[in-house]
Chain A
Amino acid sequence: AQSVTQPDIHITVSEGASLELRCNYSYGATPYLFWYVQSPGQGLQLLLKYFSGDTLVQGIKGFEAEFKRSQSSFNLRKPSVHWSDAAEYFCAVGDDYKLSFGAGTTVTVRA
């Protein structure tokens, strides 16, 4: 069965600094990979997704993610964070049209 690991429970970053969130997956075939963001009191919003092709994927809000098959990773990055990026971020892997989510990484942005 597929699974997702997000090693970092909580990350604190200064406004304007770069951000990288780690995601490792376990899946036998070519995975469908997703990153979602959840702001307090809100539902999940899709940031980006990878199905195939270019391993560097661009998403909304200035985020990008890189698929590395050799490392079974799909890390999320943003060059310069804004205070509004404070939220919880979830990596997910898709199988049979179902999503399996990681436990999430909470991002705190300090001024």
Chain B
Amino acid sequence: EAEVAQSPRYKITEKSQAVAFWCDPISGHATLYWYRQILGQGPELLVQFQDESVVDDSQLPKDRFSAERLKGVDSTLKIQPAELGDSAMYLCASSFRQEWGNEQFFGPGTRLTVL
């Protein structure tokens, strides 16, 4: 069964360092999402791509976060510099198209700890 792949699964870094997370969506899925899930809370959308274009990045802290999906397939989320408050689970999801009939499939996430 096709799955959303994410790496690394766990990342420990010190504050002020740069970190990057990678996501490979299910083949053929045009829409890709990055969510941040702080412990004890539900996921919060950071950025949404349709193919290689950003559809929504209104909740992305653009002073330190960046996201790209250059060829409209896999995607990278970067944080530079990392802060203590960035410790969270970063989830990637994909769907076939941007419409409500299409389920979002989630990857296993990357657990980030900033020391």
Contacts and interface: CB of A to CB of B under 8 A. Distances in A.
B45 A43 contact: no
A5 to B, nearest CB: 11
Contacts of B4: 43
B43 A44 contact: yes
Nearest to A44: B106
Interface stretch (B11-19, B61-69, B78-86, B97-105): B97-105
A43 B42 contact: no
Nearest to B40: A103
Contacts of B40: 103-104
Nearest to B101: A51
A32 interface: yes
Nearest to B42: A101
B106 A45 contact: yes
Given A43-B91, A97-B98, A104 B41 contact: yes
A98 B100 contact: no
Interface in B3-61: 4, 31, 40-45, 48, 55-56
A92 B93 CA distance: 15
